[in-house]
């Protein structure tokens, strides 16, 4: 079971083989420059231009230094049904984990502002591109139009330009934790690694909780691996995610403290808003009660001691603090990045009481079940994911992404079943977190075993030599968008396709 991955011995093996393969990949980057040159020529190498002399001059000037602000993300709420705001993408220098760091950030902050909107709201965002390369925006988890200047990842906001995004959030949009980030093909990995992401919360989740829980304390826990440190600047043609020079951040801080009182129940919004790292989050002696996954409230609340977060994953959970003192909000040690990722944050449990029995007040369901098990399937499709790490080629159905090719044309109002097959060997460690824009899906089976879905999701990990079967309802919006591997390096290097919902 994908959710229970933390309790599976195999998973740790999987993760370490993944790490090893990434390490090998990075080392290939470091030493095989014949391939790098080929990529640089067609500008498909992430980061290729970031540290040109021109850019270094810009980021070292005192204007940009003066503006640096690596503090916690700013919360921006809609008002009277409208959220109007500006996102300025620019280079900044600041300190993370006491290391001087060069970043690409929104509004001068390591984590972009957290947007809070309500179903039915209109969102207007001016994206100002002060980078020396194109960028754009994707709203991960939102069920909105993919057209015009809505969640349209085919837009290209060139350097020096501003684009006015307008999103209409449907009145019946599910509440939950989503996020936004740059999604310009071939540059998204570098830009999100560099800092260009933030939370996008659809409010209203607590109204689905039992009355005593509707005013509990919230914590947003936006996890991001941040590989741009001073060493990275001098070795700019490789990701240092696996080279030991990254900082793991939560809300822009390294190892922040999260306060909770013993016996208190809080709502934690956990999100992996980084480009590639995956985490297993656990809090010793405590259990997570999952009330929403990928921004979708569950029809059956489920519990686990650990949660698996590939890039893009979110869980909204209730935690009733058990124990006292300082506990690591943890991930298993990774030999290539230790000690930075031994844990993401520290939880300070104050007091020592358990006067509240969680089972008495916790909900069992947030929304009515809308199981697709008996849905009429309009189309069955098979998507084969395969990697060529040697040549940095990542394919779906033996094809790399082509903006001029529409892979699938689902009909509006139908449900399709997609079998996602990972052809990569276990030894390669290439798990692929599948993500589709606009439309959430239900996981039906994993490796042939029926899967007991608790709700819908938009991101699912396809295990090596394994498969996942999903059912996708294509409701409400026509138009083109994409599905892809959310290990953004793979997506940038081809593992992405286009679907167009037609009438």
* Site residues (vs Cu ion, CB under 5 A): 432, 485, 487, 490
**How far apart are alpha carbons 247 and 274 in whole angstroms?**
12
Cβ proximity to Cu ion, 113 vs 227, nearer residue: 227
In angstroms, give the least distance from the CB of 385 to Cu ion: 7
| Residues 185/496, Cβ–Cβ less than 8 Å | yes
Report the nearest approach of Cu ion to the CB of residue 393 (Å): 12
Q: Among residues 181 and 490, whose Cβ is nearest to Cu ion?
A: 490
Which residues are paired to 154 by β-bridges? none
Six-digit token string for 468: 């996942």
> Under a CB-based contact definition with an 8 Å cutoff, are residues 2 and 443 in contact?
yes
The burial class, CB within 10 Å (0-12 / 13-18 / 19+), for 368 is: exposed
Rank residues 15 and 199 by Cβ distance to Cu ion and give the closer one.
Answer: 15
Shortest CB 431 distance to Cu ion, Å: 7
Residue 29 CB, nearest approach to Cu ion (Å): 16
Given the complex with Cu ion, which of 269 and 435 has the nearer CB atom?
A: 435
| Spatial separation of the C-alpha atoms in residues 1 and 469, rounded to whole Å | 13
Q: Which is nearer to Cu ion, 260 or 488 (CB)?
A: 488
Residue 49, CB half-sphere, CA atoms under 13 Å: how many? 13
Distance from C-alpha of 300 to C-alpha of 323, rounded to nearest angstrom: 27
The sheet with strand 306-309 has its strands ordered as 257-261, 343-350, 325-330, 279-282, 306-309
Question: What secondary structure letter does DSSP report for 6?
Answer: G
How far apart are alpha carbons 257 and 274 in whole angstroms?
Answer: 20
Looking at beta carbons only, is 349 or 485 nearer to Cu ion?
485
The minimum distance between CB 491 and Cu ion, in angstroms, equals 7
CB of 484 vs Cu ion, minimal distance in Å = 8
Q: Which is nearer to Cu ion, 321 or 496 (CB)?
A: 496
Cβ 121 to Cu ion shortest distance, Å: 33
Q: Which is nearer to Cu ion, 101 or 311 (CB)?
A: 311
Cα–Cα separations (whole angstroms), residue 208 to 65, 203, 213, 314, 366: 44, 11, 9, 18, 6
d(CA 486, CA 496): 9
């Amino acid at each position: 079971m994908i959710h229970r991955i933390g309790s599976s011995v195999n998973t740790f093996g999987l993760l370490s083989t993944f790490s090893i393969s990434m390490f090998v990949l990075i080392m290939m980057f470091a030493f095989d420059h014949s391939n790098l040159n080929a990529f640089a020529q067609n500008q498909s190498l992430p980061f290729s231009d970031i540290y040109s002399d021109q850019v270094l001059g810009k980021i070292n000037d005192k204007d940009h230094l003066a503006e640096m602000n690596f503090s916690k993300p700013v919360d921006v709420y809609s008002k009277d049904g409208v959220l109007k705001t500006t996102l300025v993408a620019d280079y900044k220098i600041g300190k993370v984990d006491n290391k001087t760091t060069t970043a690409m950030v929104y509004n001068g902050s390591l984590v972009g502002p957290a947007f809070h909107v309500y179903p039915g709201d209109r969102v207007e965002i001016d994206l100002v591109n002060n980078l020396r390369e194109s960028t754009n925006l994707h709203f991960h988890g939102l069920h909105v139009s993919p057209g015009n200047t809505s969640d349209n990842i085919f837009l290209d906001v060139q350097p020096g330009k501003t684009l006015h995004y307008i999103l209409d959030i449907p009145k019946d949009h599910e509440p939950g934790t989503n996020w936004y980030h740059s999604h310009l093909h071939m540059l998204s990995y570098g830009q999100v690694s560099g800092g260009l992401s933030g939370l996008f919360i659809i409010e209203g989740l607590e109204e689905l909780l039992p009355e005593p829980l509707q005013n509990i304390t919230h914590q947003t826990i936006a996890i991001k691996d941040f590989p741009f440190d001073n060493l990275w600047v001098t070795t700019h043609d490789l990701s240092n995610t696996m080279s030991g020079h990254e900082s793991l951040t939560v809300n822009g801080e390294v190892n922040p403290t999260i306060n909770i009182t013993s016996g208190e129940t809080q709502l934690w919004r956990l999100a992996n808003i980084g480009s590639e790292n995956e985490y297993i989050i656990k809090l010793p002696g405590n259990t997570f009660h999952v009330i929403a996954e990928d921004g979708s409230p569950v029809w059956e609340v489920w519990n686990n001691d650990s949660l698996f977060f590939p890039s893009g994953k979110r869980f909204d959970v209730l935690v009733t603090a058990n124990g006292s003192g300082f506990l690591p909000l943890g991930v298993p040690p990774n030999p290539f990045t230790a000690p930075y990722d031994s844990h993401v944050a520290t939880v300070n449990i104050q007091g020592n009481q358990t006067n509240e029995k969680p089972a008495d007040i916790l909900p069992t369901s947030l929304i009515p079940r809308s199981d697709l098990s008996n849905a009429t399937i309009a189309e069955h499709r098979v998507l084969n994911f395969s990697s060529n790490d040697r040549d940095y080629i990542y394919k779906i159905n033996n094809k790399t992404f082509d903006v001029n090719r529409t892979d699938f044309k689902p009909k509006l109002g139908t449900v399709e079943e997609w079998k996602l097959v990972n052809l990569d060997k276990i030894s390669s460690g290439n798990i692929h977190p599948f993500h589709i824009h606009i439309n959430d899906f239900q996981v039906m089976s994993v490796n042939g075993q029926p899967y007991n879905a608790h709700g819908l999701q938009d991101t699912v990990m396809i295990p090596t030599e394994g498969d996942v079967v999903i059912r996708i309802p294509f409701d409400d919006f026509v138009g083109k968008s994409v599905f892809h591997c959310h290990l953004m390096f793979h997506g940038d290097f081809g593992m992405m396709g286009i679907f167009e919902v037609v009438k």
